[in-house]
C-alpha cells in the first residue's frame, strides 16, 4: 500500500483538542442536533463531552476506541439522520407513533446515525429508550434464569441491570424535570412493593438494586412511559439497534435443559415488541435491521426480508431509510477529520484513491484500513 508511513499510533493521535476558533472547513460549530439540516451535510459536528460520557458505556467497541483516541465524539452529518429529525419536527404527536427503520450493508453507519438521533432526543427532552445492539443480550448472555414474575419466561437480570443504569444516566435530565410517576402498584415479593404515585426514578433504582426483578422493572417502565406519553406528560423516543434479533428463530440463551431458546422465551422480547406497538402516541420508534442480528436470514439487507413475516406485520406501516456507503464528499471529509485528529498523515492523492478503492467508501472498512495495529 501507499500508506505504510501514513499511520499514527494511539499515543501520537489527537495530541490537541479542537480549537474554538478557526474552524476547519470539514467541521461545523453547531452542536445542537435539532439545528442540523441539509446545509450541514458532509460536515463533522461534535457531541458535547457530558453527553458523550453518558453514551460511552453502550457504544460499539470501535466507536469507543475512536472516541478515546480522538478525545471527542465527532459525528459526520449524513442524510438519514437529518431526514428523520426533520420528520420528527413535523410529526403530529396526537396520533399513533411513527416508525422508522434504518437499513443497509454492514459498516455503512446505521449505529453511528443512531447516536445523532439519541443526542437529538436528549436535547429535545424526550425520554430516550435506547436499546443498543440487541444481539449482545442474546448472543453473550451473562446469566439466564427463570423469571420470578413470568414462570414460562427466561430473565437476563445482569444485562437488564446494566441497561437500567444506562437509561438512568442518559435520561437524568428528563427524570429530574418531568413529573413522571407510576400509575399503579407493582408487587415484586411479599415485602417489596412499588406503590402507585412513586417517581419513575424510584422504579428504575429498584431494578438496579434488586437485579432479580430488573427485567420486570423494564417491563413496568415501558408500560409507564407509554401511558405517560399518551397522557401528554412526556415524549418517548424508542431507539433499538438490530431490532430483527427479536424476530429471529433462535438465540444463544439456554434454558434449564441446556437447549437454545427462541427470542419469545426471553422476557424482554415481549417488552420491547410492546414498545413499538401502535397503542400509544406522543412518541416515535427508530430501529435498525442488520443481517448480523439474526442467524436465519442472511441473503438480503432489506427490512421486509430481515424482519420476517412476524416482524413485518408488527411494524407495518413503517418508513424504511437506507444508510449507504460514503459519498465522495463524505469520504473526503472523513479523511480530513482523520488527518486533523492525527490518525493519518497528509497522504498523496494516489494514497487517497487507494483507500477509496480498498474500502469502497464503506465507513467501517475505511476506519479499519486507517487504524494502526493494536
pLDDT at residue 372, as a whole number: 62
Average predicted confidence (pLDDT) for the chain: 91
Q: How far apart, in whole angstroms, are the C-alpha atoms of residue 44 and residue 158?
A: 36
The pair phi, psi for residue 175, each rounded to 5°, is -65, -30
Please enumerate in sequence order all residues whose Cβ is within 8 A of that of 356, keeping only pairs 6 or more positions apart, or say none: 328, 331
Can you list the positions of beta strands (E) in 278-362?
283-288, 319-322
* DSSP single-letter state for residue 278: S
| Nearest C-alpha neighbor of 220 from the set 164, 262, 154, 171 | 164
Low-confidence ranges of the chain (pLDDT < 70): 1-21, 372-374
pLDDT at residue 1, as a whole number: 38
Q: How far apart, in whole angstroms, are the C-alpha atoms of residue 285 and residue 276?
A: 6
Burial class (CB in 10 A: 0-12, 13-18, 19+), 317: exposed
pLDDT at residue 16, as a whole number: 44
Q: How far apart, in whole angstroms, are the C-alpha atoms of residue 174 and residue 184?
A: 21
Q: How far apart, in whole angstroms, are the C-alpha atoms of residue 314 and residue 287?
A: 13
Please say whether the beta carbons of 277 and 91 come within 8 A: no
* CA contacts within 13 A on the Cβ side of 318: 27
* DSSP single-letter state for residue 39: G
pLDDT at residue 373, as a whole number: 34
* DSSP single-letter state for residue 373: P
Q: How far apart, in whole angstroms, are the C-alpha atoms of residue 183 and residue 206?
A: 16
pLDDT at residue 5, as a whole number: 41
Cell numbers that stand for 236 in this block? 418517548
Q: What would the pLDDT profile of 172-184 be if each residue is shown by its tens digit? A: 999 999 999 999 9
**Mind giving me the DSSP string for 237-251?**
EEEETTGGGGGSS--
| Nearest C-alpha neighbor of 245 from the set 227, 260, 231, 264 | 264
Q: Between the CA of residue 76 and those of 20, 88, 116, 181, what are the distances in Å?
A: 19, 20, 9, 37
The pair phi, psi for residue 19, each rounded to 5°, is -70, 155
Packed helices 200-209 and 157-170: angle between N→C axes, nearest 10 degrees:
140
pLDDT at residue 15, as a whole number: 41
Q: Computed over its alpha carbons, how large is the radius of gyration of the chain?
A: 21
pLDDT at residue 6, as a whole number: 42
Amino acid at each position: 500500500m501507499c500508506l505504510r508511513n501514513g499511520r499514527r499510533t494511539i499515543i501520537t493521535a489527537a495530541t490537541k483538542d479542537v480549537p474554538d476558533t478557526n474552524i476547519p472547513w470539514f467541521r461545523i460549530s453547531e452542536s445542537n442536533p435539532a439545528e442540523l439540516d441539509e446545509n450541514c451535510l458532509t460536515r463533522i459536528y461534535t457531541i458535547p463531552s457530558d453527553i458523550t460520557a453518558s453514551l460511552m458505556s453502550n457504544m460499539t467497541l470501535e466507536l469507543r476506541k475512536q472516541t478515546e483516541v480522538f478525545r471527542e465524539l465527532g459525528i459526520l452529518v449524513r442524510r438519514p439522520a437529518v431526514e428523520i429529525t426533520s420528520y420528527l419536527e413535523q410529526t403530529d404527536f396526537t396520533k399513533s407513533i411513527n416508525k422508522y427503520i434504518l437499513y443497509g450493508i454492514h459498516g455503512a453507519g446505521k449505529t453511528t446515525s443512531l447516536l445523532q438521533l439519541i443526542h437529538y432526543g436528549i436535547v429535545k427532552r424526550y425520554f430516550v429508550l435506547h436499546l443498543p445492539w440487541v444481539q449482545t443480550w442474546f448472543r453473550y448472555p451473562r446469566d439466564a434464569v427463570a423469571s420470578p414474575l413470568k414462570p414460562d419466561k427466561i430473565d437476563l437480570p445482569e444485562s437488564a441491570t446494566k441497561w437500567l443504569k444506562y437509561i438512568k444516566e442518559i435520561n437524568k435530565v428528563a427524570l429530574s424535570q418531568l413529573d413522571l410517576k407510576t400509575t399503579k402498584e407493582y408487587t415484586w415479593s411479599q415485602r417489596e412493593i412499588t406503590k402507585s404515585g412513586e417517581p419513575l426514578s424510584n422504579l428504575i433504582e429498584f431494578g438496579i438494586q434488586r437485579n432479580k426483578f430488573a427485567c420486570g422493572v423494564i417491563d413496568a417502565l415501558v408500560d409507564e412511559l407509554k401511558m405517560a406519553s399518551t397522557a401528554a406528560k412526556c415524549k418517548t423516543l424508542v431507539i433499538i439497534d438490530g431490532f430483527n434479533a427479536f424476530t429471529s428463530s433462535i438465540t444463544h440463551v439456554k434454558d434449564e435443559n441446556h437447549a437454545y431458546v427462541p427470542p419469545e422465551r426471553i422476557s424482554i422480547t415481549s417488552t420491547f415488541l410492546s414498545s413499538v406497538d401502535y397503542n400509544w402516541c406522543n412518541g416515535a420508534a427508530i430501529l435498525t435491521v442488520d443481517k448480523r442480528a439474526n442467524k436465519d436470514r442472511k441473503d438480503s439487507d432489506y427490512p421486509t426480508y430481515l424482519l420476517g413475516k412476524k416482524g413485518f406485520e408488527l411494524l407495518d406501516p413503517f418508513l424504511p431509510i437506507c444508510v449507504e456507503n460514503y459519498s465522495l464528499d463524505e469520504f473526503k471529509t472523513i479523511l480530513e477529520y482523520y488527518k486533523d485528529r492525527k490518525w493519518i498523515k497528509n497522504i498523496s492523492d494516489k494514497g487517497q484513491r487507494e483507500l477509496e478503492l480498498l474500502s469502497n467508501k464503506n465507513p467501517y472498512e475505511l476506519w479499519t484500513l486507517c487504524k494502526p495495529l493494536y
